[in-house]
Amino acid sequence: MTDTATVEPGETGLLDNVQVTDDTKPADNSQKVEIDHKATPAGAAEPDEPLERPDFWPENFWKKDSNEPDLEGIAKSWGDLRKMISQGKHKAPEGGKYDTATLGEGPVAGALTEFAAKWGLPQAAFDELAQRTMAIAEESAGPAIDTKAEIKALGPNGQAVINGMVDWARGLVNKGVWGKDDFEEFKIMGGTAKGMRALLKIREAYEGRVPIDSAPIEGAPSKEELYQMVNDPKYKTDPGYRQKVERMFQQFVQ
């Protein structure tokens, strides 16, 4: 029990005689609490725990390697969608008048346009279909062939070599040795200088040396003049004259 403070007359303050003793110290009921600053709040994911894609988030905009949303991808997709809608490409054009700038003119453009109009494809879907079609066509066609370079690679009489081989192939078709399909394969194989040389070797294996590698004669007649020489009666009656004309045809460079 503590003493009651009394105020004596003449003192200046209400608390001058109040003292603190051991008996009057308030009890220390505080407890030492240690706070772990590394503790994870209740319900929060652990730092090393991988995130899971929410059901509402599109799977194609979720980075599976890093388990996080693809914010850049979905933002770009949204921008592309707004652009497509603003250009009216989200619907089929009126009257089936599709923009065929990607395809250009030709049977492919006509076929795709007819297909798209039949099924009411939006212009955006038509553009994607056209791009994929052109990509497949380019892959199938392979690299473009420089015909001038290939003719040059055959030598100074490159065109004469080609003309002679074409006449030879046509002769095989006329004789019934080759069909039209064989001639088409001949055109593919003979589309390069290497292929033409290979065919020439096959021909020479049966016929002997083909005389088309000689240099053209200076001042040789034109193609029209050669045809006039063929129409000359001597071409049928004079073997020497006929051989001369044939050699000129072989040396002729178109």
Per-residue pLDDT of 134-143, as tens digits, reads 888 777 766 7
Identify the domain boundary among 141, 168, 200.
141
Domain boundary among 109, 141, 173: 141
68-91 pLDDT, tens per residue?
A: 888 888 788 777 667 667 766 668
3-state secondary structure of 91: coil
How many domains is the chain partitioned into structurally? 2
Per-residue pLDDT tens for 121-131?
Answer: 888 888 888 88
Res. 20 pLDDT band, cuts 50 70 90: low
Q: Could you give the CA distance from residue 38 to residue 23 in angstroms, rounded to a whole number?
A: 42
Task: Give me the mean pLDDT over the 109-120 stretch.
Answer: 86
Q: Which domain holds residue 128?
A: 63-141
Question: How far apart, in whole angstroms, are the C-alpha atoms of residue 159 and residue 148?
Answer: 10
What pLDDT, on the 0 to 100 scale, is given for residue 8? 55
The total of other beta-carbon atoms located within 10 Å of residue 245's CB is: 20
Which one-letter DSSP state was computed for residue 62? E
Residue 84, Cβ density class (10 Å: 0-12 exposed, 13-18 middle, ≥19 buried): middle
Q: DSSP character for 94?
A: G
* 139: CB partners within 8 A, 6+ apart: none
Q: Is residue 47 domain-resident?
A: no
Residue 9 lies in a domain: no
The answer to whether residue 77 sits within a structural domain is yes
Helices (H), the chain: 71-86, 107-119, 123-141, 147-153, 158-174, 180-189, 193-207, 223-231, 234-237, 239-251
- 153 shares a domain with 247: yes
Please report, in angstroms and rounded to a whole number, the separation of the first and last CA atoms in the chain. Answer: 133
Q: Of 141, 173, 192, which residue constitutes the final position of a domain?
A: 141
Considering the domain architecture, whether residues 161 and 130 belong to the same structural domain is answered as no
Q: How confident is the model at residue 69, as a pLDDT?
A: 84
Residue 24 lies in a domain: no
Measured distance CA(102)–CA(126) in Å, rounded: 10
Using DSSP, state whether 69 is helix, strand or coil: strand
Q: Which residues of 7-34 are buried (b: 16+ CB within 10 A; e: fewer)?
A: eeeeeeeeeeeeeeeeeeeeeeeeeeee
Q: Are 240 and 161 members of one domain?
A: yes
